[in-house]
Chains A and B, each alone.
Chain A
């Protein structure tokens, strides 16, 4: 026993790095996790906490003036800020209309092409292109399409003898124009998710339903939709979260105009933070958007029983 203990000591002493190596071995799991945790702290946790801190302060653009604690003052401003109300209303309109259209088109296309798409790889690639483009490139492309005097859309209208439109510059068409561009870019995303969902459907229930004489519509409504529910939920959730953050298209196409008709929350936050140099209030609006997104997502996940 004594011999063995003595052997053990001499072995430990003879190992290079001794105590450091033992410590590293004991804490290996923490050491392995440390880089990820540090990056997460630096890039996610710290900015989030800082945003909470900023939201309860009035921050002057003058660096020599101290931050003034205003408590819930910035949040109270949300109630009386007419521009915020306009941006909120526009964001809701955009999110509801754009995501609904994208979903219906994506699902429709997926159902239509489900049987053929596996053979048409080229078509699948083409349909994915809008989704892979940088949002700013999409916005500039649509700006050129919508340009009232030289844009291709009005050129087509002119040649067809139809009245020319101002598109993104028309107070009644501006939001529609942005929704069309967004639908063009993001319908393929829903389409691909639905296609993946359809490919994973079991065959047996359909065979049984067909034997029972169920119509295609009944099969779609009672089998396809319930089976696709988790995929639909994920697709809608991701699109709603993304639509609530819409910025690029509006920034390039309309700048929030005309007449404030396309001012959305992200654009307003940007203006408040950078143009009006009021980062405290911008942080409060950002937290409001975060809160709405979390509440919506939680409600949606519960409703679609994704949590189960």
Chain B
């Protein structure tokens, strides 16, 4: 009797395991938040429409990279598609984790992605940047914009900030009058990715960059870098106490609660700021391009892109899904679900642009077209970490800005082997 029961249970468990493994036709790894939610909703639509079962596995930002890298390194084939932040692309592509999409386009009778995609959105999906074969398709059109409370800025004597000097002027006045409870500026000062992401646009707007044009030399510790650092430190001084540990949530909350007047931010926060249930600032926040320093301002591009894992056993199905999910119709639906588009036709669609919640689209489209990618390097996570440590030290005041630049230069030289 007991033996029969055991055998029955074993058979049932095996059947469950097999059916579990075969449950999905495609498995997609996505981040938590609006980007992942959007693709998850699209996957559900696809399943209804085409009868293809698409399972989405959702993980926090950093864990998406880790799980994708693990799956790639072990050739597990557990994920067919990974929704990647664009600076991860060189790591995934150059370590053989991503499939070259060229043969799939050919099989579909296409030369490649169509011209409706923004050129900067497509450039990041090629490896090497803008010249190699396509290894992914853009899905979420993130690029930083400058967010500010126009009324407060006006009170401080600045109509529309065009330069970092304008931002500093208004922020200084607002912080001084804020009594320690209101601040003119706020930024992500948390060590690592947050502080680097919010420093890079300032760095670029003073003509600085991490590497020279042919990526043969590290160029952090330069007069341009020093000028950018000076502005960054001045912005720190008008930001809330504790900004050293701020990440996206803290910055977003400060703006939505109306306790800070301005910041660099990502467009997916617009939906939060315009939602009365989450924001005290509905209709009060203005969006503009990244201010200029000694050079025109440039946003950091931060697209979410879909690539097929090399170890996938369902590559054709995965490609079909990607092509469908990035079609003009689906990108428009994705935009309505709160994710910035990657197609010109959606950015200029009158059905969307006439709505108040999409009033930032012209600025965002321009921001993407004028954006700069983070350095395309397979060791970017390590470079970002090292640079982030030195920036964090400078923000915390444990070393001088000059020391931070010097240390970051040495650290990145050591990581990359460039002198």
User: Quick one: given A260-B191, A275-B382, are A167 and B242 in contact (CB under 8 Å)?
Assistant: yes
Q: B240 touching A258 by the CB < 8 A rule?
A: no
Whether B254 pairs with A149 at a CB distance below 8 angstroms is yes
Q: State whether B392 touches A259 (Cβ < 8 A).
A: yes
A63 and B250 contact, Cβ closer than 8 Å, known pairs A170-B242, A258-B395, A260-B392: no
| B101-159 CB contacts (< 8 Å) to partner A | none
A277-B91 in contact (CB<8A): yes
Closest 3 CB pairs of A and B: A257-B191, A166-B242, A169-B245
Q: How far is the CB of B254 from chain A (nearest CB, A)?
A: 6
> Is B320's CB within 8 Å of the partner chain A?
no
User: B192 contacts A260, CB within 8 Å?
Assistant: no
Q: Which residues of B contact A83 (CB under 8 A)?
A: 389
A169-206 CB mask vs B (1 if < 8 Å, else 0) is: 11100100000000000000000000000000000000
A101 to chain B, nearest CB (A): 23
Inter-chain contact B190/A255, CB cutoff 8 Å: yes
Assuming the contacts A260-B392, A276-B381, asked whether A254 and B245 have C-beta atoms less than 8 A apart, the reply is: yes
Q: How far is the CB of A188 from chain B (nearest CB, A)?
A: 27
* Contact of B66 (CB < 8 Å), options: A149, A261, A275: A275
Q: Is A226 an interface residue (CB 8 A)?
A: no
Q: Which residues of B contact A (CB under 8 A)?
A: 62, 65-66, 69-70, 72-75, 91, 94-97, 180, 189-192, 240-246, 250, 253-254, 257, 259, 379, 381-382, 385, 389, 392-393, 395-399
How distant is the Cα of A276 from the Cα of B381 in the complex, in angstroms?
A: 6
In the complex, besides A171-B397, A171-B398, 4 extra interface pairs with C-beta distance below 8 angstroms are: A61-B73, A63-B75, A148-B242, A275-B382
A64 interface residue per 8 A CB criterion: yes
Selected contact of A63 from candidates B74, B379, B389, B396, CB within 8 Å:
B74
Closest B residue, CB atoms, query A171: B396
* Contact (Cβ within 8 A) B192 A255: yes
Set of chain B residues within 8 Å of A170, measured between Cβ atoms: 241-242, 244, 396
Shortest CB-to-CB span from A88 to chain B, Å, is 16
Quote the shortest CB–CB distance from A177 to chain B (angstroms): 10
State A61–B246 Cα separation when bound (angstroms): 31
User: Bound complex: CA of A158 vs CA of B260, how far in Å?
Assistant: 18
Chain B residue with Cβ nearest A163: B180
- Whether A275 lies near B72 (C-beta < 8 A) is no
> How far is B387's CA from A260's CA once the two chains are assembled, in angstroms?
12
Q: How far is the CB of B238 from chain A (nearest CB, A)?
A: 15
Q: Which of A262-295 contact B (CB under 8 A)?
A: 271, 274-277
Are B96 and A62 in touch, CB under 8 angstroms? yes
User: How far apart are B383's CB and chain A's nearest CB, in angstroms?
Assistant: 10
Chain A min CB distance to B291 (Å): 24
Counting CB contacts under 8 A, is A168 at the interface? Answer: yes
A257, B190: Cβ atoms under 8 Å? Answer: yes
Chain A contact residues, CB within 8 Å of chain B: 60-64, 83, 147-150, 164-171, 174, 253-261, 271, 274-277
Q: Are B393 and A259 in contact (CB under 8 A)?
A: yes
Q: A61-B72, A63-B72, A150-B253 are contacts. A260–B389 as well, Cβ < 8 Å? A: yes
Q: Which of A164, A167, A256, A259 has the most CB of B within 10 A?
A: A259
Nearest Cβ distance between residue A268 and chain B, in whole angstroms? 10
Q: How long is the Cα–Cα vector from A260 to B385 in the complex, in angstroms?
A: 11
Q: What's the Cα separation between A125 and B72 when bound, in Å?
A: 47
Collect the chain B residues with CB atoms within 8 Å of residue A147's CB: 250
| B-side contacts of A257, CB under 8 Å | 190-192, 244-245, 389, 392, 396
| Bound-complex Cα distance A253 to B253 (A) | 17
Q: Which of B66, B192, B244, B257 has the largest count of A CB atoms less than 10 A from its CB?
A: B244
Number of A-B contacts (CB under 8 A): 122
| Contact (Cβ within 8 A) A168 B191 | no
Is A276 a contact partner of B385 (Cβ separation < 8 A)?
A: yes
- Report how far A256 CA is from B192 CA in the complex, Å: 9
CB distance from B91 to the nearest CB of A (A): 7
A259 touches B244 (CB 8 A): yes
Chain A residue, CB-CB nearest to B397: A171
Among residues of B, the one whose C-beta sits closest to the C-beta of A82 is: B411
Contact indicator B95/A259 (Cβ below 8 Å): no
- Measured between alpha carbons, how far is A63 from B92 in the docked complex, in Å? 11
Q: Are B259 and A274 in contact (CB-based, < 8 A)?
A: no
Cβ distance A255 to chain B, nearest Cβ, rounded Å: 6
B180/A164 in contact, CB under 8 A: yes
Asked if A62 and B240 make an inter-chain contact with CB atoms under 8 angstroms apart, the answer reads no
- A-B contacts, 16 listed (Cβ < 8 Å): A61-B97, A63-B75, A83-B389, A149-B259, A166-B245, A169-B246, A170-B396, A171-B244, A171-B396, A257-B389, A258-B190, A259-B392, A259-B396, A260-B392, A274-B65, A277-B73
CB B241 to nearest CB in A, in angstroms, measures: 5
Distance A118 CA – B381 CA, assembled complex (angstroms): 54
Judging by beta carbons under 8 Å apart, are B245 and A271 in contact?
Answer: no
Give the complex CA separation of A171 and B241 in angstroms: 11
B263 to chain A, nearest CB (A): 13
* Residues of the A chain whose Cβ atoms lie less than 8 Å from the Cβ of B75: 63
Considering only CB atoms, which chain B residue lies closest to A168 in the complex?
Answer: B245
Q: Tell me whether A169 and B243 are in contact (CB under 8 A).
A: yes
**Least distance between A155 CB and chain B CB atoms (Å):** 11
A60 to B398, CA, bound (A): 35
B-chain residues with CB within 8 Å of residue A258 when the two chains form the complex = 189-191, 244-245, 392-393, 395-396
A173's nearest neighbour on chain B, judged by CB, is: B242
Among A83, A148, A174, the one with the most B-chain Cβ atoms within 10 Å of its Cβ is: A148
Instruction: Across the interface, name the chain A residue whose C-beta is closest to B404.
Output: A259
Interface centre among A167, A170, A171 (most CB of B within 10 A): A171
Q: Which residues of B contact A164 (CB under 8 A)?
A: 180, 241
Give CA–CA (A167, B245) in the complex, Å.
9
Given contacts A257-B191, A271-B385, A275-B382, contact A61 B69 (CB under 8 A): yes
With the chains together, A61 CA to B244 CA distance in Å?
A: 32
A83 CB to nearest chain B CB (Å): 8
A148 cross-chain contacts in B, Cβ below 8 A: 240-242
Distance to closest chain B CB from A265 (angstroms): 16
| A276 and B382 form a contact (CB under 8 A) | yes
